[in-house]
Amino acid sequence: MRGPHNIWRLIRTGATFQRTGAMGVALDAVDAPARLRLAARVLGWPFAWLGYQGDPDLPPVTRAITALGPAYIKFGQILSTRPDVVGPELAQQLSMLQDRLPPFSQDDARRIIAEDLGQPVEAMFSEFSQPIAAASIAQVHRARRADNGREVAVKVLRPSVEAGFRRDIDAFHFAAGAIELVSPSTRRLRPRDVVSHFESVVTGELDLRREAANASEFAENTEHDADMRVPRPHWHLSARRVLTSDWAEGLPMGDVAALQAAGHDMPKLAARVLQLFLQHALRDGFFHADMHQGNLKVAADGDIVIYDFGIMGEIDEYTRRVYAEILMGFIRRDYMRVALVHFEAGYVPRDRDMAEFARALRGVGEPIFGADASRISMANLLAYLFEVTERFGMATRTELILLQRTMVVVEGVARSIDPQINMWEVARPVVESYIRDNLGPKAAARDLGRSAQVLARFAPLLPEFLERRMPELLRETPPAPVPSRRRGLVTGLLLGAGISLLGMAVGAWLG
């Protein structure tokens, strides 16, 4: 229940950061002003004893986050890929959250597998290792199938993780509601909707059958993509709390020294990670939305292996086109076009000044050009973007949260491999290719053909629908009696035939 009892959870969050020493580290990392540091010290010290102690062997911030639970760990995973925001030292500490958490017992893992798959582990796997990776929601074992000897990865959900996660999200909901109540100006950012969206996508990770379906669809979409691999699920060895998939061999993408020692082309790897994400988001509208280093490996031949499909993003075709036009506008430094796209899509209220908005976008985009990535402060860029959105009344687009967040994460991954990467230059060929295929004359003709086919299916119903509904829509007195259904159907069939011919003609031209 999202009641005041959540205040206790939030107090313990602050107290945990104070007790573990994470408060000072976090404030230093974001270069907090002196007043904020003083307030945190004065308010936090009396309550420090209420905080969780955590594992004293871990660094302070990692210690606090792991003690607080899975939802906090997920947030820390995102920050671990942004050394330009939280600093290299804190980013290094947070990287431990990706796949090096303490595992749960082997006995618990075997029990869960046997319960969900209906057989003892020995009947299904001739080999079953100790945990090789443990994350916030599940851990992974290396195994070998008993029937064919294939090497596989077996992912097992943590015991009682659902209850812990829901408790944390409950407190987040309460905090979001309190923020909106205390500061009405934040309502345009819809913090409660943001928390709800975050809850819905991460809850999907708690059912591994859904992850198996995501992996299967993603593998089909990317089957012909160069320089990448996707481990496929083994359906008969998977269930709600167990997922068995192909074993993915390779070096962790987070181990930069090992990648360099193996002779991999680091700038090429960095560019390919960013381009693959954009390709999947724009072309397929179905993309991996948790592409941190812990979910990426590099095979011996240089292929990027992508796994862990618990969180996926999906965007419709219209939104993909808007997103591509915005990216292309920034790449070409055509800020008036970017502003126009925002207005046409309804992202900015129509009563705002478009020219002024274009100038504000110029202030966001221009610092990027002519500078390498190491000289760009993404923290300052995001702060200025927030000021721009606040000034022009832009509301938070919940359907784009995963896309925006993953873009930040992927850029952070790419930058960790190649600190000099220029994301705009790397993105240009992917975005230009998408625009050529989807925003040119041929794409318009393809859209017309698709629309004609849809209209043809519903054409027999259109006359009667219009005759019945138009007076109401126009707020006029209904006309004389409606023509017979037979006459309407005949008219509709003739209309449908004409539209079908048009669709066939367009289809033939495209073919």
Residue 352, in any domain of the structure: yes
Same domain flag for 360 and 473 = no
Least confident of 28-37, 209-218, 291-300: 28-37
Number of H-type helices and E-type strands within the chain: 23, 10
Mean pLDDT of 329-353: 86
CB 96 within 8 A of CB 133: no
Residue 447 lies in a domain: yes
Within 13 Å of residue 60, how many CA atoms lie on the same side as its CB?
Answer: 17
Q: Are residues 321 and 264 in the same domain?
A: yes
DSSP type of residue 484: P
Cβ-Cβ contacts under 8 Å for 180 (sequence gap 6 or more): 186, 187, 191, 192
Is residue 485's pLDDT more than 60? no
- Domain-ending residue, one of 97, 122, 143: 97
Q: Name the range with the highest mean pLDDT among 29-43, 72-86, 337-351, 460-474.
A: 337-351
Residue 479 lies in a domain: yes
Q: Distance between CA 330 and CA 424 in Å, rounded?
A: 8
Using pLDDT thresholds of 50, 70 and 90, give the confidence band for residue 229: very high
Residues 424 and 499 in one domain: no
Q: What is the pTM of this model?
A: 0.72
- Cβ-proximal residues to 431 (8 Å cutoff; 6+ apart), any chain: 278, 282, 324, 327, 328, 331
**Whether 400 and 492 share a structural domain:** no
pLDDT at 397: 62
Instruction: Judge if 406 and 296 occupy the same domain.
Output: yes
pLDDT (tens digit per residue) in 142-178 = 999 999 999 999 999 998 888 778 888 888 788 777 7
Residues 404 and 446 in one domain: no
- Token pair 């829901």 in the structure block, residue: 166
- Give me the domain span that covers residue 283: 250-439
Residues 269 and 347 in one domain: yes
Strands of the sheet with 138-145, listed across from one edge = 125-134, 138-145, 151-157, 242-246
Is 116 among the catalytic positions? no
User: What does the pLDDT read at residue 500?
Assistant: 42
Q: Which pLDDT score is estimated for 26?
A: 77
Q: Are residues 291 and 363 in the same domain?
A: yes
pLDDT at 265 over 70: yes
Report the range out of 199-213, 274-288, 375-389, 448-462 with the highest average pLDDT: 274-288
- Sorting pLDDT into bands at 50, 70 and 90, what band is 310? confident
Cα gap 19→84, rounded to integer Å: 26
Which pLDDT score, from 0 to 100, does residue 488 have?
47
Q: Is the pLDDT of residue 357 over 80?
A: yes
**pLDDT at residue 200 above 60?**
yes
Evaluate whether residue 145 is within a structural domain. no
Within 10 angstroms of residue 30's Cβ, the number of other Cβ atoms is: 13
Is 482 a domain residue?
yes
Residue 384 pLDDT > 80, yes or no? no
Q: What percentage of the chain exceeds 90 in pLDDT?
A: 29
Residues 251, 61: Cα–Cα separation, whole Å:
26
What percentage of the chain carries pLDDT values higher than 70?
A: 70
Q: Is there a single domain that holds both residue 474 and residue 336?
A: no
Average of per-residue pLDDT values in the chain: 79
The neighbour count for residue 211, using CB atoms within 10 Å, is 24
Residues 410, 457 within the same domain? no
Using CA atoms, how far residue 401 sits from 96, 143, 312, 315, 393, in Å, is 25, 36, 12, 11, 17
97, 119, 149 - which closes a domain: 97
CB 269 within 8 A of CB 417: yes
So what's the pLDDT on residue 363? Answer: 83
For residues 354 and 340, is the Cβ–Cβ distance under 8 A? yes
**Do 40 and 57 belong together in one domain?**
yes
Look at residue 322 and tell me whether its pLDDT is greater than 60.
yes
For residue 298 the two structure tokens come to: 């590099």
Is the pLDDT confidence value at 110 over 60? yes
Domain end: 97, 118, 134, which one? 97
In the predicted structure, residue 465 carries a pLDDT above the cut 90: no
- 132 falls within a domain: no
Q: Which of 170, 246, 290, 418 is catalytic?
A: 290
The pLDDT of residue 383 is above 70: no
Residues 410 and 504 in one domain: no
Q: Residues 156, 245: contact at Cβ < 8 Å?
A: no
Whether 230 contacts 249, CB under 8 Å: no
pLDDT value of position 82:
59
Q: Give every CB contact of residue 329 below 8 A, 6+ residues apart in sequence.
A: 335, 337, 338, 341
